[in-house]
Chains A and B, each alone.
Chain A
Amino acid sequence: MSSRVEQKVAARAQREAFVRDQEARERRRRTLIQLGIALAAAAAIVIVLIVMSQAGDDTGGPIEGGAESAELFAGIPQEGRFLGPRDAPVALVEFADLQCPACQQYSADVVPALVNDYVREDRLRMELWPIAILGPDSEVGARATLAAGRQDKMWEYADLLYRNQGIENTGYLTESFARDVAAAAPGLDVERFTRDLGSAAVERDLARAQSTAQARGVNGTPTVLVGRRGESPQAVEVTAQGPDQYTGAIDRLLGQR
């Protein structure tokens, strides 16, 4: 009798254990499915966020200063990287990295004075070599400026890029951003600019700019050299901000004539 009861109890216990085991398996299976869904949803959301982040990188803010850039250089002859008349007595050569803050400052503080007081009076011809020394964005900036130079709009373009400069090496200076700047530069053919931007010709221009900078021993930007027309220019030693040291060097050369 007691053995029968024991058998029943044992059988029930076995059944209950089996049910518990099945439930545990089912729960485990459900949890794994849930985890799989969570992982898939998380991956999808992360991908969307990354795509949006990259897209945001391209849009940026509106480009400002197009009219001011155009006004600064209006009426001055340009040929590729040159600004000003060929027969100007003094030549100024600048090597610049378009994403370098010091170059931006030079462009804002010094270039207008040189343009208005010397270039417009046919006393100075300026030459700009865009080079890439700070990072991958610099190359885009240099290529873009060289591409604008192919339309004799290098100076307006560089000026406008500086006016809209972001923080260096933050990824803002993309080809898309370069095109936005081109679109805001009055008189620049954006379609042609876009074609030139990725062209082998501009690539060669950049290689030439880089090798010229190397030959001149340029190891920082902006590096500015001045000299009399036809002579080898010498670097301007700069110890203070503003145009005075540059104009001083140019005045000395003009006085020597």
Chain B
Amino acid sequence: MSDRRLRAAMVVLAVAGTGVAAYLTWVHYADVSPICATGGGCETVQKSSYSEIAGVPVALLGLGGYVAILATLFLPGEATRLWAAALALVGAGFSAYLTYLELFVIDAICQWCVASAVIMAVLAALAVARLLRAPPELEAAAG
């Protein structure tokens, strides 16, 4: 896959992730129940003691992460690839922990959270692939 296509795929995923995280952040602050296909699982997860870190909703952290990744995809410079990869790896790692909590501690599944975890994992894979592959078109342009 070319660098341009990788970047385009990442933009689509980051926008989708931003949507999911924005919805969950709104649900958190509006104190309403999320639309949920898994019974009351989403609400249980959203209201669990793990839904906040030092008073900050996890959903808001996710929203910040997606927006930051999105920003790196539109900013110029080689370093932005590294930032995108680092941010997506943090997101994917923390999402894996949250999914573990859902499965084995909270014992409830929130489909929105799972969707976000999958999006973040794919974003991380694409960001690493983009970092690893030599970007010939950029070099040609620069050279």
A residues at B contact (CB < 8 Å): 24, 27-28, 31, 34-35, 37-39, 41-43, 45-46, 49-50, 52-53, 56-57, 60, 135, 166-167, 169-172
Select from chain B the residue with minimum beta-carbon distance to A43: B93
Select from chain B the residue with minimum beta-carbon distance to A174: B49
Contacting pair A53 B53 (CB below 8 A): yes
B131 at the interface (CB under 8 A from A): yes
Q: What CA separation (Å) do A57 and B97 show in the bound complex?
A: 14
Q: What CA separation (Å) do A45 and B93 show in the bound complex?
A: 9
Of the candidates A24, A41, A170, the one whose C-beta lies within 8 Å of that of B86 is A41
B residues at A contact (CB < 8 Å): 43-45, 47-50, 52-55, 58, 61, 82, 85-86, 89-90, 93-94, 97, 101, 105-108, 128, 131-132, 134
Contacting pair B52 A56 (CB below 8 A): yes
B128 contacts which chain A residues (CB < 8 A)? 35
Q: What CA separation (Å) do A46 and B132 show in the bound complex?
A: 22
A35 contacts which chain B residues (CB < 8 A)? 85, 128, 131-132
Q: What CA separation (Å) do A166 and B44 show in the bound complex?
A: 10
A31 contacts which chain B residues (CB < 8 A)? 131-132
Contacting pair A166 B93 (CB below 8 A): no
Contacting pair B44 A27 (CB below 8 A): no
Select from chain B the residue with minimum beta-carbon distance to A134: B107
Contacting pair A46 B93 (CB below 8 A): yes
A53 contacts which chain B residues (CB < 8 A)? 50, 53, 58, 97
Q: What CA separation (Å) do A145 and B50 show in the bound complex?
A: 24
A34 contacts which chain B residues (CB < 8 A)? 82, 131
Contacting pair A38 B94 (CB below 8 A): no
B43 contacts which chain A residues (CB < 8 A)? 167
Contacting pair B49 A171 (CB below 8 A): yes
- The 6 nearest A-B residue pairs measured at CB: A170-B48, A42-B89, A46-B93, A38-B86, A172-B49, A42-B90
Q: Given contacts A31-B132, A171-B105, A171-B106, are A38 and B85 in contact (CB under 8 A)?
A: yes
Of the candidates A37, A57, A60, A167, the one whose C-beta lies within 8 Å of that of B47 is A167
Contacting pair B107 A169 (CB below 8 A): yes
Q: What CA separation (Å) do A43 and B85 show in the bound complex?
A: 12
- 20 A-B pairs with CB atoms under 8 Å apart are A31-B131, A31-B132, A34-B131, A35-B128, A35-B132, A38-B82, A38-B86, A41-B86, A42-B90, A46-B90, A52-B53, A53-B58, A56-B49, A166-B47, A167-B43, A167-B48, A170-B44, A170-B106, A172-B48, A172-B49
Of the candidates B50, B53, B82, B85, the one whose C-beta lies within 8 Å of that of A170 is B50
Contacting pair B54 A50 (CB below 8 A): no
Q: What CA separation (Å) do A209 and B105 show in the bound complex?
A: 24
Q: How far is the CB of B89 from chain A (nearest CB, A)?
A: 4
Q: How far is the CB of A15 from chain B (nearest CB, A)?
A: 17
Q: What CA separation (Å) do A154 and B52 show in the bound complex?
A: 31
Q: What CA separation (Å) do A151 and B88 show in the bound complex?
A: 52
Contacting pair A169 B86 (CB below 8 A): no
Contacting pair B53 A24 (CB below 8 A): no
Q: What CA separation (Å) do A34 and B50 show in the bound complex?
A: 32
Q: What CA separation (Å) do A111 and B141 show in the bound complex?
A: 78
Q: What CA separation (Å) do A28 and B61 show in the bound complex?
A: 33
Q: What CA separation (Å) do A135 and B58 show in the bound complex?
A: 24
Contacting pair A171 B48 (CB below 8 A): yes
Q: What CA separation (Å) do A57 and B105 show in the bound complex?
A: 12
Q: What CA separation (Å) do A201 and B52 show in the bound complex?
A: 36
